Amino acid sequence: MRRTLFEGLTHRPLTEAPPRVDDAERVTVTALSDRIARIELKFGFMEKADVPQGLQVAVARGQIATCNLAQVTYFTGHETIIPTRRQSAMAQWRKAIFALMHRNAQQPGAFFNIPSAQVMEIGVEFEI
């Protein structure tokens, strides 16, 4: 049976987060329906965010059903910034630099240590 995980990312200020999170506090599971649950994983600012490892902790603690984590599909978002020549408050050279920096940023799958064969990216393009 193939499992699917919809992954949503949130950002919290580092000053409020502890450097490390104990496994007992790492996973929060909220049932949304009989077949869908929201799984929130917490990592300290000194830890590498590792979603598969966090899910292993949830399985080991009995918070989610046992599954083959090598067959989980993770859905992530991806934005493509397109600089336009349209007149706006942002200078053209700044648009180009912003688009370049965004393109070179680390992808969510790599940041969260998700195997690339298990990532499905859903993308959108933004014109600036």
Name the residue among 119, 98, 99, 97 with its Cα closest to residue 108. Answer: 119
pLDDT digits (tens, 9 = 90+) for 56-82: 999 999 998 888 888 888 888 888 888
Q: What mean pLDDT is predicted for residues 73-93? A: 86
38 — pLDDT class (breaks 50, 70, 90): confident
pTM of the prediction? 0.72
- Does residue 107 register a pLDDT over 60? yes
Predicted pLDDT of residue 4: 52
46: left (phi over 0), alpha (psi -120 to 50) or beta: alpha
- Does residue 42 register a pLDDT over 80? yes
